């Protein structure tokens, strides 16, 4: 079984709808992250959480919110989806690792299309 799972894998939604993307992990890592990937822009950090009580904004958090329900679960919500939020979304986890290297373990991604 995959260590980091994401649901749904694909989603098409309409402008203005609320949508939640879910992430679960069995790696036992404290740190979890949400990224979006757009062609030519690489991975950009939306939110990250270093433990259940710690939530931090990334570089592109506007229009998104998150919830860390447990060590193993981290959800990303789009309160009112807009077309420019069409992208590939990845959840990732990391352990503290060697000297703060933050090595990331990614889920398979969710392809979101907002029409």
Our finding on whether 45 is near another protein (CB under 8 A) is yes
Stretch that binds another protein, among 12-20, 60-68, 77-85, 104-112 (CB under 8 A): 104-112
Supply the minimum distance, in Å, between the C-beta of residue 63 and another protein: 19
C-alpha distances out from residue 13 to 19, 48, 93, Å: 8, 24, 27
Distance between CA atoms of residues 11 and 63, nearest Å: 17
Q: Which of 23, 25, 29, 33 binds another protein (CB under 8 A)?
A: 33
The residues of the shown chain that bind another protein, judged by CB under 8 A, are 4, 33, 35, 40-45, 48, 50, 58, 90, 92, 97-109
């Amino acid at each position: 079984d995959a260590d980091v799972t994401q649901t749904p894998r694909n989603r098409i939604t309409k402008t203005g709808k609320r949508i939640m993307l879910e992430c679960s992990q069995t790696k036992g890592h404290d740190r979890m992250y949400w990224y979006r990937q757009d062609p030519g822009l690489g991975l950009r950090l939306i939110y990250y959480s270093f433990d259940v009580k710690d939530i931090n904004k990334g570089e592109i958090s506007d229009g998104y919110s998150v919830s860390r329900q447990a060590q193993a679960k981290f959800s990303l919500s789009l309160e009112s989806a807009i077309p420019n939020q069409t992208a590939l979304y990845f959840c990732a986890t990391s352990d503290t690792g060697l000297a703060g290297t933050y090595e990331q373990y990614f889920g398979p991604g969710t392809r979101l299309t907002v029409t």
